[in-house]
């Protein structure tokens, strides 16, 4: 899937600071339709903030975030000044984008089915019967239809994350953002979530994934972006980036990772 | 000689009073909940004026006696041309009073809710009111049921003060008949027992709800 047409996500020199702390120092990045982009980097490198700026869960300070050609979060007022758009406009501009969170963020007072039906009934304004059919279909896709009537707290982390993915899928997104989707999971549960994500990638979903799963990045990503200190330090196809890293920071990041996994690779 | 059986001749009057107390309290709690939610949202909103108004409302209503608030609404408002019937004045005073307490109770509940809950709602396209109605309030109410039940019990007891503005609820009835029969001990004991049944029932309903909802 090589760079055909316009990028569906385009970041131009995006910056963000929290108080004195400059978290993003000018990020420019293109993501094309159908591409899987993995963002890797140490903690505090700004990778989650970057993702949250795309979905405007975090406002950015300067630069541009363009999704499907639309500037996200800001518009010109009649005087020509840039102002923050009302929430509903931002949400409409981001209608094709959904986020999957590290902590799943399922609603504990609703059953699995109700969680997945909520966007259909409340946002798409589907009637209940139709919404239920649709919700069961997406739950089936992530292998969770059999737990439709369970409450989230009774499920394992991996199951909860699959339900969260189903809830996101119910909106029929074109772009999915994953914010460390497996970091809160016990090691033995990571696989089932990655498997679902792999299926989505195979179906041609545009995905931006912040992750520590180097194996997933190596096998599934079209492009890997290495973030350090709020800047893109290096990016490229996983094959070249993992085997022939150029920047010293990436070399040491990968070395640390390899060291941690030394038992597996000898 | 203490003889509780004398109140039995007045049981239908006393039960009417109990009924009045029950629904004045219920209305005050429900209205107070709506006021409390609004005040709580205003209190944490991004608008400084709203925040200040809410903070002022909450601290004055929580910081003055209900009897004073009741008098202000019933006796002072007529001076500026607003005259309310006793029952309406009583319900408004109790609701405003309870609203301030409930605002603080709910604020605690909102603060313990992880912000990821709201973010997930925003992300899939729910508007602010849908998030409040479908994501935040159900969880906040569940988390604060014990405190809300306490507040209900307080309101039931405090509603006895509205007898001072001639609302014929339980306390007023007890007072009236204790003076006509010269049996104050019996009538106030009976009133006390009836208040107790009401507050105990509120407590049991609360326990039941807490148990039922916590299994989820």
pTM value is 0.87
Q: Minimal Cα distance from B114: which residue of A?
A: A105
pLDDT value of position A263: 62
pLDDT tops 80 at residue B52: yes
Q: Which of B120, B79, B7, B36 is nearest to A166 (CA)?
A: B120
DSSP string, A109-120: TS-HHHHHHHII
pLDDT value of position A258: 79
Distance from CA of B41 to the nearest CA of A (A): 17
Tokens, residue B50: 């709203």
Distance from CA of A80 to the nearest CA of B (A): 25
pLDDT value of position A260: 76
Q: Which of B49, B20, B54 is nearest to B35 (CA)?
A: B54
- At A3, the pLDDT band (50, 70, 90 cuts) reads low
| Domains held by chain B: number | 1
Q: Quick check: A40 and A212 in contact, CB under 8 A?
A: yes
Q: Minimal Cα distance from B138: which residue of A?
A: A109
pLDDT tops 90 at residue B110: yes
First and final CA of chain B: distance in angstroms? 54
Q: Which of A43, A77, A72, A41 is nearest to A55 (CA)?
A: A72
Of A98, A107, A168, the CB nearest to B135: A107
pLDDT value of position A73: 93
Of A87, A88, A123, the CB nearest to B124: A123
List the domain range (segments joined by +) for residue B147.
Answer: 4-214
Chain B residues near any Cβ of chain A (below 8 Å) = 114, 116-117, 119-128, 130, 134-135, 138-139, 142, 213, 216
For the segment B2-41, what is each residue's pLDDT rounded down to a tens digit?
888 888 888 999 999 999 999 999 999 999 999 999 999 9
Residue with the bigger pLDDT between A262 and A149: it is A149
- In this complex, do B116 and A103 lie within 8 Å of one another by their Cβ atoms? yes
Stretch A167-196: mean pLDDT: 94
CATH code of B82's domain: 1.10.3720.10
For the segment A63-121, what is each residue's pLDDT rounded down to a tens digit?
999 999 999 999 887 887 888 999 999 999 999 999 999 999 999 999 999 999 999 99
Residue A125: phi and psi, rounded to 5, are 60, 35
């Amino acid at each position: 899937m090589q760079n055909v047409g316009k990028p569906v996500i385009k970041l131009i020199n995006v910056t963000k600071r929290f108080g004195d702390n400059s978290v993003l120092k000018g990020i420019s990045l293109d993501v094309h339709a159908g591409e899987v982009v993995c963002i890797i980097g140490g903690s505090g490198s700004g990778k989650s903030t970057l993702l949250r700026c795309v979905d405007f869960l975090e406002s950015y300070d300067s630069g541009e975030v363009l999704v499907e050609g639309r500037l996200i979060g800001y518009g010109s007022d009649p005087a020509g000044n840039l102002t923050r758009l009302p929430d509903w406009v931002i949400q409409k501009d981001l209608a094709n984008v959904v986020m999957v969170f590290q902590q799943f963020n399922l609603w504990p007072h609703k059953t699995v089915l109700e969680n997945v039906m909520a966007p259909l009934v409340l946002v798409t304004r589907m009637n209940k019967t139709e919404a239920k059919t649709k919700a069961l279909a997406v739950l089936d896709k992530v292998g969770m239809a059999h737990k439709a009537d369970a409450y989230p707290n009774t499920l394992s982390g991996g199951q909860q994350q699959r339900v969260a993915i189903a809830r996101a899928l119910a909106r029929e997104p074109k772009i999915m953002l994953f914010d460390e989707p497996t970091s809160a999971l016990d090691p033995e549960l990571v696989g089932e979530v990655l498997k679902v994500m792999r299926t989505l990638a195979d179906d041609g979903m545009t995905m931006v994934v912040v992750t520590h799963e180097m194996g997933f990045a190596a096998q599934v990503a079209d492009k890997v972006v290495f973030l350090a200190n709020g800047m893109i330090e290096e990016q490229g196809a996983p094959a070249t980036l993992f085997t022939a890293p150029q920047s010293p920071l990436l070399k040491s990041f990968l070395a640390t990772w390899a060291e941690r996994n030394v038992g597996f690779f000898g | 000689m203490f003889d509780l059986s004398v109140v039995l001749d007045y049981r239908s009057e006393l039960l009417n009073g109990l009924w009045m107390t029950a629904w004045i309290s219920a209305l005050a709690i429900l209205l107070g909940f709506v006021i409390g939610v609004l005040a709580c949202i205003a209190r944490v909103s991004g608008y400084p004026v709203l925040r200040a108004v809410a903070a002022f409302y909450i601290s004055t209503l929580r910081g003055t006696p209900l009897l004073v608030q009741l008098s202000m609404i019933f006796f002072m408002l007529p001076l500026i041309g607003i005259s309310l019937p006793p029952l309406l004045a009583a319900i408004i005073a109790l609701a405003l009073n309870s609203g301030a307490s409930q605002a603080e109770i709910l604020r605690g509940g909102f603060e313990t809710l992880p912000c990821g809950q709201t973010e997930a709602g925003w992300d899939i396209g729910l508007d602010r009111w849908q998030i409040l109605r479908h994501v935040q309030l159900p969880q906040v109410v569940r988390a604060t049921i014990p405190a809300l039940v306490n507040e209900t019990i307080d309101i039931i007891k405090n509603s006895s003060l509205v007898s001072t503005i001639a609302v014929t609820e339980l306390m007023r009835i007890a007072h009236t008949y204790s003076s006509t029969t010269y049996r104050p001990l019996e009538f106030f004991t009976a009133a006390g027992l009836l208040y107790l049944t009401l507050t105990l029932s509120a407590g049991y309903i609360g326990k039941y709800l807490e148990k039922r909802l916590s299994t989820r």
